């Protein structure tokens, strides 16, 4: 899908994308880039609730495992 950027830097999100991701008016979107690609990510109204349960085995275990990995690299 191709959209056009206005002189004010605005563009429309195609209806198919809005429906698929259930985007509503005044929904916040986060823009990010990795130097080659631009990413647009919807921001949940309650990011804590959206994050809850997203880590297998629990967040604390995941964080501790990452810290051990970081410490082992040093």
Buried b (16+ CB within 10 A) or exposed e, 35-54: eeeeeeeeeeeeeeeeeeee
Burial of 27 (0-12, 13-18, 19+ CB in 10 A): middle
With a cut of 80, say whether residue 18 has pLDDT above it.
yes
- Mapped onto helix, strand or coil, the DSSP state of residue 33 is strand
pTM (predicted TM-score)? 0.55
What's the mean per-residue pLDDT of the chain? 86
Q: Taking the domains of the chain in order of start, what are their residue ranges?
A: 1-43, 45-74
CATH architecture of the domain covering 1-43: Ribbon (2.10)
In the block, residue with structure tokens 């990010």: 32
- Secondary structure tally for the chain: helices H, strands E: 3, 2
Lowest mean pLDDT among 8-17, 27-36, 37-46, 47-56: 47-56
């Amino acid at each position: 899908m191709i959209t056009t950027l206005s002189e004010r830097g605005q563009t429309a999100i195609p209806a198919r994308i809005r429906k698929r991701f259930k985007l509503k008016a005044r929904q916040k979107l986060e823009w990010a880039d990795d130097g080659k690609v631009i990413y647009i990510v919807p921001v949940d109204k309650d990011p804590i609730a959206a994050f809850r349960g997203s880590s297998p085995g629990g967040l604390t275990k995941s964080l501790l495992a990452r810290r051990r990995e970081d410490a082992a690299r040093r």
